[in-house]
Amino acid sequence: MDEDLESLAQQYALKRNVMRGERLGFGIHGIVFAAQDKTKPGFFKVKFHREKRPFERECRVYQRLRVPQRAYR
């Protein structure tokens, strides 16, 4: 299964003209790689999920975090 994610990571890198770096971590839901845009300084991280449902759940979390929350007293 990790071979499939490795292949997806390589396809992602080729399609977006980025260099895929080292594997930073892994878990039951996927693998995280370092990546570098060839036209910009610095690195970023890319996570490849094994299944759609955990990906969608994680996306919803990040969408909720974008919305400013009122301070609770």
State pLDDT tens for residues 13-44: 899 989 999 999 998 999 999 999 989 999 99
Band (45; pLDDT cuts 50, 70, 90): very high
Distance in angstroms (rounded) separating the CA atoms of residues 45 and 32:
7
- pLDDT of the residue at 71: 62
Distance in angstroms (rounded) separating the CA atoms of residues 47 and 11:
13
**Reported pTM:** 0.73
Helix (H) or strand (E) holding 49: strand 44-49
**Token pair 């299944």 is at which residue?**
51
